[in-house]
Amino acid sequence: MAWTPLVIASLCAGWMLSPDVLIRLGQGAGANQTFFLLGLIVAAGLAARSLFLVRHPQLRCKGCVNLTELLIQGVGPTLATTLLLASRMALVLLIPTGVLVTSGYAFNEIFVYWFPNFGFAFLLLVMIAALHLVSESLARKAQVVFAALVLISMVILSGAGIVTAGSGSASVDNDFSFSAPTLVGSLLLFLGLDFSQEDAHQSRRLPIGVLLVGLLLFLCWALVSMQLVAGDRLAGTTIPHLISARTILGETGRILMGITLIAGTCGVVNALFHLAIDSFRGLAARGLLPGHPHGELLRRRFVLLFALAIAFLMGKGLAGDDILDTYIQAALLLWLFVSGLQPFAAAKLLKLQKVKHRWHGIAIMLIYFSAILYLIASDPDAIHILRFLALVLIPTALLAAVWSRGGLAVKTIGNHKGKGDP
């Protein structure tokens, strides 16, 4: 599979450029002001250190050419299968359900008021599914366009915001109120750097570059928002990005943010489709995916499954229910746990190679796990989060245990890959 650097970079940025991240970024900046900027730097530093570990050249010598194989070798096939199936399915169904409808409202209110918002959401879903059904390569190339639109719009808004803030009298840390959950939640903003490639020389540089660009963009946008909008207003709204954009450039800013939301929605939905399929392909290659004992991933069937399930959830009105935000938070926490388990698995394997500083992987896992426990405990809907995690993990674990111990898993490691459908 030919993964070009530009495509991989845009896929890694899919979640970081999503509307959900813009909401969390604005609310966190409003609640914690300068502390949130420090939190972003720490979170990015942990993500960067994790990338150096999970993409260490010594791991490729053990056949860990992708993160799925790393988890299988590092923590065992049963746990790896459980977490990948549960986390990827939760992400690919829940986040698109929320952002697609949000994008529909943005299109309705900013661009064409008479067009049904749900109709636009379904059109975007059909477009993403069609890209994947026509060609996986086409869907990857489209990701570059989505990411470019978001970056161009955000750079224009951030640059104009810096000029506006420089000529005004607003100051940082006005209306300050500390919120520990939003500060710890900055760890969730740097997820999604899970995409692998075969070029060992490029394997760490690209995600690190995406991480640095994302951090710089976050810092600029958060700082501009803090300078121009009162903190309590940012922290107490679900549209802090729209408020900031309109404050910066008026109606033009509102239109640019509308483009950002729609392109960001397409980007995150497309990236999550790729993330799930990429993970499932790795499991299928090892005979760990039910229904794929010969290592061939039936990709188009999964695309149709994702699209139909998302359409069903939107049609049933889940996007208008407050419980969706709770479920998305649970899915993100599960994603963070998988992201923390990757450097832990790398540390276990690098121990055999006597690599220095491998213990950093264990430390990162402990930090992430502690953050997850805190975010659950501090959430008003903690019971619903725990119930959701139990609901997705327990049945998946039973299925994975039966499947991985049934003698069907591929025992060899290395460059064994499934063909998949074209």
Written as tens digits, the pLDDT of the chain (422 aa) is 445 888 999 999 999 999 999 999 999 999 998 999 999 999 999 999 999 888 887 776 665 667 888 898 889 889 999 999 999 999 999 999 999 999 999 999 999 888 998 999 999 999 999 999 999 999 999 999 999 999 999 999 999 999 987 765 455 555 567 889 999 999 999 999 887 655 444 566 788 899 999 999 999 999 999 999 988 899 889 999 999 999 999 999 999 999 999 999 999 999 999 999 999 988 888 888 877 766 677 889 999 999 999 999 999 989 888 899 999 999 999 999 999 999 999 998 887 777 777 788 899 999 999 999 999 999 999 999 999 999 999 999 998 888 766 544 444 444 444 444 43
Q: Per-residue b/e over 239-275, b at no fewer than 16 CB within 10 Å?
A: bbbbbbbbbbbeeebbbbbbbbbbbbbbbbbbbbbbb
For 150, half-sphere exposure in the C-beta direction (CA atoms, 13 angstrom radius) is 31
CA dihedral 16, 20, 23, 26 (to 10 degrees): -10
Residue with tokens 């999964």: 302
Q: pLDDT value at position 340? A: 95
Give the whole-angstrom CA distance, residue 315 versus residue 254.
28
Is-contact 288 409, C-beta < 8 A? yes
Q: From the CA atom positions of the chain, what is the Rg in Å?
A: 21
C-alpha–C-alpha distance, residues 113 and 90, integer Å: 32
Tell me how far apart the alpha carbons of residues 106 and 9 are, in angstroms, rounded to a whole number: 26
pLDDT value at residue 119: 93
Contact 344, 362 (CB under 8 A): yes
Contact 143, 10 (CB under 8 A): yes
Burial grade of 14 (CB within 10 A; 0-12, 13-18, 19 or more) = buried
Per-residue pLDDT, 288: 83
Residue 333 sits at φ, ψ, to 5 deg, of: -65, -40
Q: Strand, coil or helix: what is 288?
A: coil
The rounded distance, in Å, linking the Cα atoms of 86 and 88 is: 6
Surface-to-core class of residue 337, CB atoms within 10 Å of its CB (0-12 exposed, 13-18 middle, 19+ buried): middle
Question: The tokens of 4 are what?
Answer: 């070009």
Domains of the chain are 5-404 (1.20.1740.10)
Question: Which residue matches tokens 């063909």?
Answer: 419
Report yes or no: 282 and 70 within 8 Å, Cβ to Cβ: no
In the block, which residue shows the tokens 């698109």? 96
Q: CA nearest 408: which of 320, 248, 284, 255?
A: 284
Cβ–Cβ under 8 Å, residues 285 and 196: no
Joined together, the tokens standing for residue 139 give: 């869907």
Residue identified by tokens 């059909």 is 126
Closest to 221 (Cα-Cα) out of 192, 188, 253: 253
Token digits of residue 36: 């949130």
Instruction: Provide the 10 A C-beta neighbour count for residue 422.
Output: 8
At residue 200, the pLDDT reads 47
Structure confidence at residue 402 (pLDDT): 82
Q: In whole angstroms, give the CA distance from residue 331 to residue 324.
A: 10
CA 349 to chain centre: 26
Considering only CA atoms, which of 114, 186, 215, 142 is closest in space to residue 336?
Answer: 186
- The predicted pLDDT at position 173 comes to 52
First to last CA, the chain: 11
